[in-house]
Amino acid sequence: SSQTLSKRARLQFDAIKKLRTADPARLTIRFDKALLETKKLLGKPLPKDILIVLGSDSGMKRLKHLFWGKPAVSDVVSFNYGKGQSPQWEIFINLEQAKRQAKTTFADEIVFLFIHGVLHNLSYDDDTPRKRAHMLELGSRILASCLSA
């Protein structure tokens, strides 16, 4: 149930007040729906805990520099610490970039980026145009399922 999944996602905010975004409780519910729809569509196991960090351009630049040696702005970065019975994930979402690239609503873009991070942690990749197109289409289908559920 959504209430059970809500306990799985812990939220940390460093830019949320500045951008006056959606209510954190509503975002948690939307993240929960995204997890349910992803599990229904793909049938893959999901972790018990996902740390979701909603940040800014400067935070994402620091993160990219720390792990990839280049201070670049990205919309989402995800980490998967372990496989098997108890994987733990972190998904970093850049709210400033989400706001710039939102095609519909800001909240929808945040959820789409969360889904994108989930897909990366499920071993989907977007390192070629074909893989990227597939991953974006899959993310869009999951988001559409969330909105209609």
Q: Model confidence over 94-104: pLDDT tens digits?
A: 999 999 999 99
CA atoms within 13 A on the CB side of 32: 17
- The encoded tokens of residue 12 equal 């940390």
pLDDT at 22: 60
Name which residue leads in pLDDT, 128 or 148: 128
**Dist. CA 91–CA 89, nearest whole Å:** 7
d(CA 74, CA 70) in angstroms, rounded, equals 11
* Rounded average pLDDT over 21-27: 70
pLDDT at 12 exceeding the cut of 80: no
| CA dist 72 → 54, 96, 134, 135 (Å) | 17, 13, 24, 22
Q: What value does the mean pLDDT take over residues 127-134? A: 96
- The predicted model gives 43-64 an average pLDDT of 86
Residue 9, pLDDT score: 40
**Is the per-residue pLDDT at 83 higher than 70?**
no
For the stretch 131-145, pLDDT in tens is 999 999 999 999 999
pLDDT averaged over the chain? 82
- Read off the pLDDT of each residue in 3-16 and give the average, rounded to a whole number: 39
Rounded alpha-carbon distances, angstroms, from residue 125 to 19, 33, 81, 118 = 29, 22, 17, 11
Going by pLDDT thresholds of 50, 70 and 90, the confidence category of residue 13 is very low
Q: What is the pLDDT of residue 14?
A: 40
pLDDT of residue 53: 86
